[in-house]
Amino acid sequence: PGTPTDRPNRRRKSSACPCSVRLCFPPPPATMGKGGNSKSSAPATNATAASSRGLGPGEVWREDEGKSFKVQKSYVSKSALASIAKRTDLPAKITMAEAAKHNKRDDLWVIVDGKCYDVTRYVEHHPGGWLPMVNLGGKDATDAFANYHPARVYKNMLPQYYIGDVVDYRETEFQKGHRAIRQRLLAEGMFETRMSYYYKLTAWFAALLAGAGYCTPAGTA
| Residue-wise pLDDT tens digits, 101-116 | 999 999 999 999 999 9
pLDDT of residue 11: 47
Phi then psi for 29, rounded to 5 degrees?
-70, 170
| Residue-wise pLDDT tens digits, 23-36 | 443 444 443 333 33
Say how far apart CA 109 and CA 120 lie, in whole Å: 7
Tell me the CB-side half-sphere exposure of residue 206, using CA atoms within 13 A: 6
pLDDT of residue 27: 44
pLDDT of residue 44: 45
Residue 107: closest CA among 115, 117, 97: 117
**Regarding beta strands 103-104 and 67-72, do their DSSP bridges make them parallel or antiparallel, or are they unpaired?**
unpaired
The letter for the amino acid at 151 is: A
Say how far apart CA 22 and CA 199 lie, in whole Å: 47
pLDDT of residue 170: 95
Residue 36: closest CA among 181, 155, 147: 181
Query: What does pTM read for this prediction?
Result: 0.67
Say how far apart CA 150 and CA 156 lie, in whole Å: 11
pLDDT, averaged in runs of 10, over the chain (221 residues): 49 44 41 37 47 79 91 92 93 96 96 97 94 96 94 95 96 95 93 87 94 75 52
Beta bridge partners of 33: none
Label each residue of the chain as H, E or C.
CCCCCHHHHHHHHHHCCHHHCCCCCCCCCCCECHHHCECCCHHHHHHHHHHHCCCCCCEEEEEECCEEEEEECCCCCHHHHHHHHHCCCCCCCECHHHHHCCEECCEEEEEECCEEEECHHHHHHCCCCHHHHHHCCCCECHHHHHHHCCHHHHHHCHHHHEEEEECCCCCCHHHHHHHHHHHHHHHCCCCCCCHHHHHHHHHHHHHHHHHHHHHHHHHHC
